[in-house]
Structure 1
Amino acid sequence: MAVMLTVHSCPDACRKCLGPENDKCVECRAGWTLHYNICVDIDECGTELANCPPSTYCFNTEGSFECRDCDPACLGCMGNGPARCRKCTPGYRLTGSKCLDVDECSDRVLACHGLNEICTNTEGSFRCNCAEGFIRKKSVCVKKQLPSVQEKGLFEDIQDEEVEVLQQMFFGVVLCALATMAAKGDMVYTSLFMGAVAAMAGYWLSDRGDRLLDSFLKGR
């Protein structure tokens, strides 16, 4: 006669059991303790088993525990949130039962001691920014120096082509003046006129010669 064997799976917390029910446990897994044949979770946070580093707190989980970070407002804590702090972090103040951010910009003593600085509150601290129209130079806020039209030279923004045109116009006016005086028979102005014409012709020929030579060399 064949004997039918039924295999029963134990609950997750049980290492050994007499059946699939929770109250049939014989031996529990790590992190659990046997209580009336039921495996009950051990709260490690209430025992010496939990050894969390500073600035963290113990958080119990099923069969184990976690070390979680304290709130930024806390300098050591007993749990989550600014109301579970042991002490307040610098920049925070105990207000009621919570460590809350200190608004340094609203304190009676000015947080920013420099002139032309504006205080901006941040979480747990503050920063000093230069006021509008000022920039920071060597830890001091100084007024921005806007470029002045008077500081620029008269021909600073003129392009090279425009300068050449102005030069040609200037020499043209000078030649016209000299030609007018030479037409009156003044030998001095006649000599100046001829010298200016010769100088202009020499400049024109040398300039054209340089361009022709440059074009020839580039053509090679």
Structure 2
Amino acid sequence: MEAKRLHRNLLQAVWLWSLLAVPVHSCPDSCSVCSGPEKDQCEECRAGWTLHNKTCVDIDECGTELDNCFLNSYCFNTEGSFECRGCDVACVGCMGSGPARCRKCAPGYRLTGSKCLDIDECSDRVLACHGLDEICINTEGSFRCECAEGFHRRDSICVRKQIPSVQEKGLFEDIQEDEVEVLQQMFFGVVLCALGTLAAKGDLVYTSVFMGAAAAMAGYWLSDRGDRLIDSFLKGR
């Protein structure tokens, strides 16, 4: 009995050793089932790959019925799959990236050589902007019209900007100080003449007013002259 138990334990140990002795390996990324770790030991392939001579080869989905990219985009093959990428702005439909792979040029572009390039509407023979006071500015695939300097747009046309009118000055707004002094002297002179005329008729009231005004005028004139003489004397020193 003891011999049988020992024999059974020995068989289990041999079986476990045989399992552990089998080398453990991982399949290549493209393989789902393989007989070894090498690329040519594949038995079955993952999605996006096809088996050829026990090697999984990438399927180029582009150009096949698997390519389901939308309009104005193109198929770009990747490892085991594909991507849909947008066409260049110069294209309407394309077979790849860049303006040289366009199926048709977009509006505002024309085929120049092998590429769809931007049309410079501003340098074209036909005037892009019809207004005489408009300036054409080229943009990518188009252009815009802006009003020239000194003009602004009103009701879709360019009109000249109104320059604010200068407010008219009053009669005595810009008069100088020396001119004010002359006007004052003229005014007092007229008043003195009127009073002198009335005083000549013998009216005592007007005579006294005339004498007082004359004295005030003389005093003002003499004081002004005196101030000027003193200023000139001090400056001369």
Q: What TM-score comes out, normalization by structure 1 length?
A: 0.69
Query: What letter matches 1:152 in structure 2?
Result: Q
Corresponding residue of 1:170: none
Q: CA separation in 2, counterparts of 1:79 and 1:22?
A: 31
Corresponding residue of 1:141: 158
How far residue 139 of structure 1 moved from its aligned partner, in angstroms, is 1.0
Corresponding residue of 1:96: 113
Within the candidate set 71, 77, 80, 1:63 is matched to 80
CA-based RMSD: 2.7
Q: CA separation in 1, counterparts of 2:60 and 2:105?
A: 27
Within the candidate set 85, 90, 98, 1:73 is matched to 90
Count of residues in correspondence between the two structures: 168
Query: What letter matches 1:54 in structure 2?
Result: L
SS of alignment partner, residue 45 of structure 1: coil
Q: CA separation in 2, counterparts of 1:137 and 1:46?
A: 54
**In the TM superposition, what whole-angstrom CA distance separates every residue of 1:144-185 from its partner, at most 9, and x where no partner exists?**
22223xx42548xx9xxxxxxxxxxxxxx9xxx9xx99xx95
Q: CA separation in 1, counterparts of 2:89 and 2:76?
A: 17
1:98-113 matches, cutoff 5 A: 98-113=115-130
How far residue 5 of structure 1 moved from its aligned partner, in angstroms, is 2.6
1:18-97 matches, cutoff 5 A: 18-97=35-114
Q: CA separation in 2, counterparts of 1:102 and 1:112?
A: 15
Corresponding residue of 2:167: 152
Structure 2 gaps of 5+ residues are 1-13, 174-183, 200-204, 207-237
Corresponding residue of 1:130: 147
Q: CA separation in 2, counterparts of 1:86 and 1:46?
A: 15
Q: CA separation in 2, counterparts of 1:153 and 1:40?
A: 91
Sequence identity percentage: 70
Q: CA separation in 1, counterparts of 2:94 and 2:86?
A: 9
The structure with the larger Rg is 2
Corresponding residue of 1:8: 25
Corresponding residue of 2:177: none
Query: What letter matches 1:130 in structure 2?
Result: C
Structure 1 gaps of 5+ residues are 159-172, 187-220
Q: CA separation in 2, counterparts of 1:115 and 1:35?
A: 71
Q: CA separation in 2, counterparts of 1:97 and 1:123?
A: 18
Q: What TM-score comes out, normalization by structure 2 length?
A: 0.64
SS of alignment partner, residue 142 of structure 1: strand
Q: CA separation in 2, counterparts of 1:95 and 1:62?
A: 35
